[in-house]
Amino acid sequence: MSDFKYSFDGSACASCGGKCCTGESGYIFCSIAELQKICEFLKISFNEFTQKYVKKVGYNFSLIEKRYLDGYACIFFDTETKKCGIYDVRPNQCKTFPFWDIYKNEENFQELLQQCIGIKVDKKYS
């Protein structure tokens, strides 16, 4: 991710508690292909899966959330183990975190630094 001023240490996730999967309400967007992979992984039909775990947002699809602490968590975030229940087939949005264009903006980047302990600012920017 050469156009970002940071790198990411995924080993920090073990002690984080899933801050990228919890917090304020938001959207976990998925393509139809991603939804189908999750269905296969969970061994349930597409209809059952979408009725139980997906909401339509305009022309897009998002995984639903559940109440957690003072906010929300992704429906597939296990609040006991603090791990993703569909990690192997998680949506691209989750796979690409924290390398989202929104974090190229300085204000949003500062917020990311507060939330994610895995962010390592490149020395030339610190």
In this predicted structure, the answer to whether residue 2 has a pLDDT above a threshold of 70 is no
What average pLDDT does the segment 66-74 reach?
95
pLDDT tens, 7-40? 999 999 889 889 999 999 999 999 999 999 999 9
pLDDT at 1: 55
pLDDT digit string, tens, across residues 107-123: 999 999 999 999 999 87
- What's the angle, vertex CA 14, arms to CA 90 and CA 24, rounded to 5? 60
Domain range summary for the chain, segments of one domain joined by +: 1-20+97-126, 23-89
